[in-house]
Structure 1
Amino acid sequence: MKPEDLPLLKSVSAPAAHPDGTRAVVSVIRPDFDADSYVGQLWTVPLDPEKLPRRLTRGFRDTAPAFSPDGLVLAFLRVTADGKPQLHVVEAAGGEPQVLTNARLGVSSFAWSPDSHSIVFGARTPDDGRYGTLDGVSAGAEEARLITDYKYRMNGVGYTADKPVQLYIVDVPELDEEPRVAPAGRALKARKAAQGALSKNGPEPDSAKNAEDAAADSLLPQARQLTFAATDHSGESFSTDGRFVYFVAALHEGSDHDLEAGIYRVSVSGGEPEAVKATNSGRQTVAAARQSRDGKWLFFLAQELGPSGQDFVARNTALYVMPADGGEAGILSDVETMDLAGGAGGLELRGPDSVLLLNNAQGTVELLEFGATGNHSLLVHGDRVVTGAASAGGGPVVVSFSDASTAGDVAALEDGQLRLLTDFSAELRLRAEIIEPRELTFNSADGYPVHGWLVLPPGKGPHPVLLNIHGGPFAQYTVALFDEAQVYAAAGYAVLMCNPRGSAGYGQAHGRAIKEKMGTVDMQDVLSFLDGALAKFQELDGGALGIMGGSYGGYLTAWTISQDHRFKAAIVERGFLDPVSFIGSSDIGWFFGGEYTGSTEEQMAAQSPMATVRSVRTPSLVIHSEEDLRCPVEQGQRYFTALKQQGVDAAFLVFPGENHELSRSGTPHHRKQRFEELLRWWARYLPTRANP
């Protein structure tokens, strides 16, 4: 795979299963160089093997499909080339989509009511006077922000306190009704005159929108706001009887000083939200909650946070269940060995009292089903990464997944086996040579097993070796197709990737092994994995080594080259490089470093790449994004400057307009340029025939 092949990477959303069990709908999205954005549409995927998938919509970017419970309507989010995501509906059989919202900052998520007549949705809601709510007032001319809380920014979002996610409910119109039309000519003139008269006697309507905007909004069904607290409200879903909306938020006293989030519900007719509490739970952060179809139970995913309410390090997410109105909660999963997640739309129900869940498991992601009474079964496992699942109408479970040869596809689970329904990566395999990774395990210096993969380029070798280190640190490399490894291998490099202690997917003890001990056994593990591979494979050139990583991977790369000088060059990307300055500059700095490195000066210095930077001799490319709030650009600036001051060959690559997610969801042009600069750096120090 080459950098110019990025548009061939088609990602597939979690499926929406039609209630009659005959078909599913997914969103298929890909990078596009012409638009310098991500484009894609909804596809309908029949479960009948005689029928082929087909494109269902033709928007710029259509995502998050969801059928109404009665199966008559399909809702989804649509983004125009210059707009924000807005909620749309279309007849399930096809037709012209209708827009339901005009949220200034876009709709983030939504869920259907049980009677199929309304939808609850979340949208960032700006304070008056901010984010274009006052005509003629630009971002630079807005009022100053007085900040008193820790939680005021988020990577990829910016300031959050002045635009919290609020929940709204909107009625879905009859789709066969004659569409309304906007007033024009005399009618628009009359509307403007009426608005002018109103403005003389009181505040202008619609937060000072002009008449044309108000006229356009009048064509849409009116949404009612359900939540109003100055914090994010997420994970919305209706109660089984349709009377309440459940959601997750941090509405408790002292919420600025901990990571807790709880379950709440609000009446669809409005009013104050009420907490739905587990009487026997400790301090937790709830990730998702949903009532069972039979109405008896409330499933929820949560992480324990310890007595401080901040101890998030390597905490597996567990599944709990309690009575729908609150009460004693039971844990359904093994919190030590299972790390669970819902799909993109939250918890997916199956049957009257069971739920489908994803589980991070040793470089794979499995699909499991849990019942409210404690029974569970493993539905999909093996060398793949399940990304979503749905079941409806007694039909088979429909699964979206990726593996070594596909960036995303859809399959039906039948008799315990997956039957492939799509082949969205056919063009990728045809035009770009995809190399299947080899699974490996080597013992660390203390005998601990380290699991990972080798992607070996074509040819006899010996090949230069790139040791890749993932971010997180509580994350994992997986068996799924990884564009980075494929690009480097195509350029002639052998790519080594492993999941050292600190990673997810191998149990909490594995993940928590580096709490207040970063750069110890984790560095030992990645270097032992490298040494094991060099000893096993003659095709690897032990004299031509590079090391690279992003975020925590950038941290461990910078830490390693201060102590191990065998590498010809390094790439330190979006790194956590100075625990001291990170505290005040990162969106998570107020708690992250203290939990991982400890909070004393001595602890931070003992685990800080900036504290050991004067020992670095390895030529290093430092990469950062200007809008990165997770590992702010000052981390890279200071590290690069320190390298230069001591005469190390260094370069600093800075991307404007990008944040911490550049390598995964940055603009296609910048993602391609990033690959080109990476290969240019490796060509300088580790040239190959394919990358001279």
Structure 2
Amino acid sequence: MTAKQTVQQKDILNIQSVTNPVLSPDATEAVFIVTQIDEKENTYHAHLYHLQVDSGKSTQWTYGKERVSQPQWSPDGSQVAFLSTRDEKNQLYLMQAAGGEARKLTDYETGVTSFLWSPCGKKIWLTSTLEDGKTFTDKKEKEEDKQPEALRVTTMKYKMDGVGFIKEDHHSQIGTLDLDTEEITAFTNEPFHHSLNAISHCGKKLVMGVNRAENKDFDFRQPLHLVDLDTKEETTLVDEEGYFGGATFSEDDRYIAYTGSVRTFENATHSELYIYDTENQTTLNLTEGLDAPIGDAVVADTQQGPNPPDAVWTEGNYLYFQVTTMGDVRLYFADLEGSLYPASQESEHVYDYDVAKNGQFALAAISNPVNPGELYRLDIATGERKALTSFNETYVNDTILVQPETIQFGGAGGFDVHGWLMKPATYKEGSKYPLVVNIHGGPHAMYGNSFFHEMQLLAAQGWGVLYINPRGSHGYSQEFVDAVRGDYGGGDYQDIMDALDNVLENHAWIDKEKLGVAGGSYGGFMTSWIVGHTDRFKAAITQRSISNWISFFGVSDVGYYLCDWQIKADMTNVDKLWKHSPLKYAENVKTPLLILHSEDDLRCPIEQAEQLYITLKSMHKETEFVRFPESDHNLSRTGKPNLRITRLNELTSWFEKYL
């Protein structure tokens, strides 16, 4: 019998991500996507798989150097359409369910962003980003004929992390593609971004999102409109400050479900599930009594490209959707009379799903702290489940994985604080071990009962790992998630320190003289803040962080409004911005600090790291700075595989040196 191996940095090359389960119309078949890393190509490949639901037999349908996404069955179940990058840009492909080669349907300059089948099965609605005045089929200029061009900027939302600079004269448009002729007909052409949400089962109505405001610098609306396809007459479903989307029609077309959040607490506001009644033209907030957000707020590092529906209707006008709650993401059931309850179990992360139209079972992609994720059939009535895939079974069986222990304690201000503690993978009773505190980003995200390779890696090095959800985290009450706003470094810092004191008091195996702390984004801010306010940690690693809210205001893609939303201050109150900036407290830092940052990060630009590094160096502090080229804010999750491994090596090497 082969001995189990400890978790290694390169394990991300072996872990496969199982996502995008989509049931056929009769629910006897399904398709899904498996993403894995090609080490030689230093990239990700995502392929389409077919599943026989009853037998659990799966077959790979696509191969090659591509990333497949958004698979959808035709209304009669005879074909599957999907997007693929096999020719660089995402283009639309069509495959017969009976087998055969995929047929390429589009070759647009900017590719296809999203699509929906028309109920007739003879055409497909799609969106693509077009230059104003151009059509879907206009050919792009040859690369060798291009000259560098200046970019004129007149708006404040002119760049986006992971995207780059945004051209003001390019907008997302909707068109219809005839499958027989492959001719595309434009449905929209106004100089605004249009999103494709849903098409009624009768084929006569469409829900689209469009914000027609001329100046959107301080406009954060995504109105939804119900469009009559014959007359193009629009009925507004919702038009208020906040984001709304994910619309879907009930089976009888009377109701439209959609999700969204208003701006009561800015980006800390819980998402809700709304129902619009097309007959009475009334709207119901179906989850008003649920003090938890709709959707998935879990942060993890192995699930690639999940694309769960916002909600799924079943016969009888019942609904299923995800809810983030107490460290779990669970599938929930609701009806229009107000019934609301979980339809999946506790202590796991349902990160993707579909539900059979008769409501008898769900097909769900599920992870837990010791399993990266597989597809399961969940019987709705009995709660029974059956594993349908085993892509990560060998890895799980051959690897020492640590099951975290749940912790909970009463924090400051009357809040309960929830989190997890992992013992070292090499733990032996009576020995002492270092402890690393790992802090998530967001801050409006959540650590959860999900597989997290980085946590397992730290435990494999012989360290304990503490990770909690301090105030500001999603998954708890609205009051809890809002409590961090205007108080960065206050109650949230106290929650982390109280959690540390709690585990030190109750777990004698932790060596209190060998404590480390790390985090990224908001977690990077908090790491930098912590070392400026206490010297109890022997090593710290700050990643993709904010160090100076004053400069962040002008350089981040979201800075000019996020400062107001999160710190409750703008450039008219630089004293408050500076008060909450870790850079202000650099002189107090005694902990050796490693700074990791991506060069193409537009969310927390690298100048934030540069300021912190040079300031600390000028004060003769113990610090080093590692820059990651060709990487954005999501390096640790979706970055180039070799650089993800380098980052993990940097983490473990720094702690090994000082702990």
| Partner residue, 1:380 | 344
Map of 1:333-352 to 2, 5 A cutoff?
Answer: 333-334=287-288, 337-341=291-295, 344-352=308-316
Equivalent of residue 261 in structure 2, options 286, 303, 312: 303
Mapped partners of 1:124, 1:138: distance in 2: 22
Tell me by how many angstroms 1:667 deviates: 1.1
| Residue 399, structure 1, aligned to residue 399, structure 2 | no
Tell me by how many angstroms 1:326 deviates: 8.4
Mapped partners of 1:287, 1:264: distance in 2: 10
Kept in 1: contact 2:485–2:566 (CA 8 A): yes
Deviations 1:569-601 (A, max 9, x none): 111100122111111111111211111111122
Mapped partners of 2:513, 2:258: distance in 1: 51
Tell me by how many angstroms 1:513 deviates: 0.7
Tell me by how many angstroms 1:62 deviates: 2.2
Map of 1:16-165 to 2, 5 A cutoff?
Answer: 16-49=22-55, 51-60=56-65, 61-80=67-86, 83-126=88-131, 133-136=140-143, 141-160=147-166, 161-165=168-172
Q: Secondary structure at the match of 2:480?
A: helix
| Partner residue, 1:487 | 457
Mapped partners of 2:344, 2:19: distance in 1: 17
Q: Secondary structure at the match of 1:340?
A: coil
Equivalent of residue 469 in structure 1, options 439, 459, 467: 439
| Partner residue, 1:410 | 375
Of 90-99 and 553-562, deviating more is 90-99
Tell me by how many angstroms 1:614 deviates: 2.0
Deviations 1:643-682 (A, max 9, x none): 1111111111111111101000001111111111211211
Aligned length: 630
Kept in 2: contact 1:226–1:270 (CA 8 A): no
| Partner residue, 2:225 | 264
Structure 1 pair 370–577 and aligned structure 2 pair: CA distance change class (3 A): same
Mapped partners of 2:608, 2:145: distance in 1: 29
| Partner residue, 1:202 | none
Runs (5+) with no aligned partner, structure 2: 1-6, 297-306
Identity over aligned pairs, percent? 30
Mapped partners of 1:325, 1:7: distance in 2: 52
Tell me by how many angstroms 1:523 deviates: 0.5
| Residue 625, structure 1, aligned to residue 598, structure 2 | yes
Kept in 1: contact 2:108–2:139 (CA 8 A): no
Of 119-128 and 478-487, deviating more is 119-128
Kept in 2: contact 1:11–1:28 (CA 8 A): yes
Which residue identity does 1:101 align to in structure 2? T
Mapped partners of 1:64, 1:566: distance in 2: 48
Structure with higher strand content:
2
TM-score by length of 2: 0.90
Structure 1 pair 389–661 and aligned structure 2 pair: CA distance change class (3 A): same
* Structure having the higher Rg: 1
Structure 1 pair 455–138 and aligned structure 2 pair: CA distance change class (3 A): farther
Mapped partners of 2:568, 2:357: distance in 1: 51
Mapped partners of 2:101, 2:520: distance in 1: 43
Tell me by how many angstroms 1:325 deviates: 7.6
Q: Secondary structure at the match of 2:514?
A: strand
Q: Secondary structure at the match of 2:109?
A: coil
Kept in 2: contact 1:112–1:118 (CA 8 A): yes
Mapped partners of 2:494, 2:280: distance in 1: 46
| Partner residue, 1:364 | 328
Tell me by how many angstroms 1:330 deviates: 1.2
Q: Secondary structure at the match of 2:113?
A: strand
Mapped partners of 2:235, 2:584: distance in 1: 46
Runs (5+) with no aligned partner, structure 1: 174-219, 687-692
| Partner residue, 1:170 | 177
Which residue identity does 1:581 align to in structure 2? S
Tell me by how many angstroms 1:87 deviates: 1.3
Q: Secondary structure at the match of 2:237?
A: coil
| Residue 650, structure 1, aligned to residue 611, structure 2 | no
| Partner residue, 1:276 | 236
Deviations 1:447-479 (A, max 9, x none): 532111112112324111110000000000011
Kept in 1: contact 2:411–2:498 (CA 8 A): yes
- Poorly superposed stretches of 4+, deviation over 6 Å: none
Mapped partners of 1:509, 1:628: distance in 2: 31
Q: Secondary structure at the match of 1:143?
A: coil
Q: Secondary structure at the match of 1:680?
A: helix
Map of 1:292-691 to 2, 5 A cutoff?
Answer: 292-306=250-264, 311-324=265-278, 327-334=281-288, 337-341=291-295, 344-394=308-358, 396-414=361-379, 415-445=382-412, 448-457=415-424, 458-460=426-428, 461-599=431-569, 600-686=573-659
Mapped partners of 1:233, 1:487: distance in 2: 43
Mapped partners of 1:680, 1:464: distance in 2: 14
Tell me by how many angstroms 1:253 deviates: 5.2
Which residue identity does 1:608 align to in structure 2? S
Kept in 1: contact 2:313–2:320 (CA 8 A): yes
Structure 1 pair 498–297 and aligned structure 2 pair: CA distance change class (3 A): same
Tell me by how many angstroms 1:406 deviates: 2.0
Tell me by how many angstroms 1:397 deviates: 1.7
Mapped partners of 1:592, 1:491: distance in 2: 37
Map of 1:164-313 to 2, 5 A cutoff?
Answer: 164-173=171-180, 221-252=182-213, 254-266=215-227, 274=234, 276-278=236-238, 283-306=241-264, 311-313=265-267
Kept in 2: contact 1:14–1:399 (CA 8 A): no
Kept in 1: contact 2:219–2:241 (CA 8 A): no
Kept in 2: contact 1:516–1:603 (CA 8 A): no
